[in-house]
Structure formats: structure tokens, C-alpha cells
Amino acid sequence: MTDLAIIGGSGFTRLQELEITRRQVIHTPYGEPSAPITHGIFKNREIAFLPRHGTAHTIPPHKVNYRANIWALKHIGARQILAIAAVGGIGSEMAPGVIAIPDQIIDYTYGRDHTYFEHDLSQVTHIDFTYPYSEKIRQQLMMAAKTTNIPVVANGVYGATQGPRLETAMEINRMERDGCTLVGMTGMPETALARELGLDYACCAVVANWAAGKGDGPISMKEIEEHIGRGMEQIIALIEALVESLEK
Ligand code: HPA
């Protein structure tokens, strides 16, 4: 049974080590997911994979159909989601190349379809979102980091911005005052939608660049891509260790 699903972010449109068994096209009441769901065997365990930005990385963060993606993963029977995301580093501990496992979120996005509780409600529903990420998966990721000797920052406040443009230096200053240590464009509403459907969800973030105004000069896509490329090897090792630990 496919219990664990991985949502791949920028630079992670496929999981090379996955022995693919089938691809499943799913139509949801919320429209089409970013791509067919890839099912396969990874470290002797059946898992599912969905590239958030589409198979060819053509869907920008504000156009991702988050509701369809999360609905599709629930539909195939996933109960746990590990989301991979490239982010900018705001906190001094979040230098490019760092891998962080955030524990909080602040949502700065707007105009995105952000809830399943909209129409035909028999009652108004407010999910608890005090702790947005699954502590169980976060702890499993930390254990995976220990076994693989991969240094990770065990917490972080993910500020989710609208994009697709990067932020201004002042926006980052404001986010820092709010308490954000990371900035990315896809954390919301994805995380909240997973909670609405009762799925355990955690994020593994690769810091690709210093956030605006925190490094020297403008942010280049080349820099971002280089750090993501290097970070992904570590992410794959972490996923391997995580999946092996789930089997026990
Ligand atoms: N800001 C927002 N999203 C990002 C960044 C950033 O600096 N880097 C990678 N994703």
C-alpha cells in the first residue's frame, strides 16, 4: 500500500532511484493535479511521487493546483506526505546549502484556492493548525539525518510568499521581524490542505540562496540551481533513510 507520498519541488521533478511500477492519471473535483502520480518501489517500499511544478517544471508556484494535488494523494491512499521545497535563507543559520526541517509557517500568499471547506457545508469547519507540520515525520527526518550523518537544521519558520517574483529586501526584513527564518513560494496552502484532509505532512527544505538583501547583490538563478543540485543528493539520502526507518 502506498502510504508515503513525496511531493518534489524545484529541481526535483523526478525521483531517479524510484523503480517505477505505474503512472496514474487522476481527475479530481478540484481539477487536474500537476502531473500523473508516479507509483514505484523505493528501498523495498511502495511510495508515490508527484512533481509539484509538473513533469517539465512548467507550473509556477502561484498556478499550482494545490487542492487537486493533495486531494489526489489522499485518493490513492497516502497518509503521509513529505514535501521537498527550495527556499531562501533569512536566519543566519540558514545559509545556502543548508537543509532545514521547518516547524512553523507564516502565510503571505493571496488569491490561491486554499481550502476544501467552501461549498455545500453542513457545518463550518476550522481545522487546528497550531503546529502545521507532523511532528512524527519531522522526528523521523531528524533520525534519518542522524543515521546518514547529514547535518540539518531541526526547525525553521517558513514564510510562504506569493511569487513568482522574489522578495524585496524590505519584505525580507519585515518577514524576519515576524520571525521567519526561511522564505518559499509553495508552502501554503499545500500544508494547510494536507491538514484539512487529515494527512500527516512535513517539509524538507533546501536553502538555495540568501533571501533578498541577506547576501551580496542580486539573487541569480544560477546560484539557486547550483545549490538545489547539490542539496538534492542529500535529500535523496535522507528520503532513503526515512523510508528504511518506516519499514521497521
Ligand atoms: N524567495 C522565495 N522563494 C524562494 C527563494 C527566495 O529567495 N529561493 C528559493 N525559493
Tens of pLDDT, residue by residue over 141-174, are 999 999 999 999 999 999 999 999 999 999 999 9
The total domain count for the chain is: 1
pLDDT at 123 over 90: no
Question: Would you say the CB of residue 88 lies under 6 angstroms from ligand 1?
Answer: yes
From the number of C-beta atoms within 10 Å of its C-beta (0-12, 13-18, 19+), residue 198 rates as exposed
Q: Ligand 1: distance of its center to the CA of 45 in Å? A: 32
Q: Ligand 1: distance of its center to the CA of 159 in Å? A: 10
* pLDDT single digits (tens) 46-84: 999 999 999 998 999 999 999 999 999 999 999 999 999
CB-CB contact of 61 with 111 (8 Å): no
* pLDDT single digits (tens) 210-220: 999 999 989 99
From the number of C-beta atoms within 10 Å of its C-beta (0-12, 13-18, 19+), residue 119 rates as exposed
36 bridge partner residues: none
At 12, is the pLDDT very low, low, confident or very high (cuts 50, 70, 90)?
confident
DSSP β-ladder status, 157-160 and 104-107: parallel
- Rounded to whole angstroms, the Cα distance separating 65 from 237 reads 28
SS (H, E, C) 184-220: ECCHHHHHHHHHHCCCEEEEEEEEEEECCCCCCCCCC
Could you tell me the CATH number of the domain that includes residue 125? 3.40.50.1580
- Which pTM does this prediction carry? 0.96
Q: Reduced to 3 states, what is the DSSP secondary structure of residue 235? A: helix
Domain range enclosing 10:
4-247
pLDDT, position 195: 98
Q: Ligand 1: distance of its center to the CA of 210 in Å? A: 8
Largest CA distance in the chain: 53
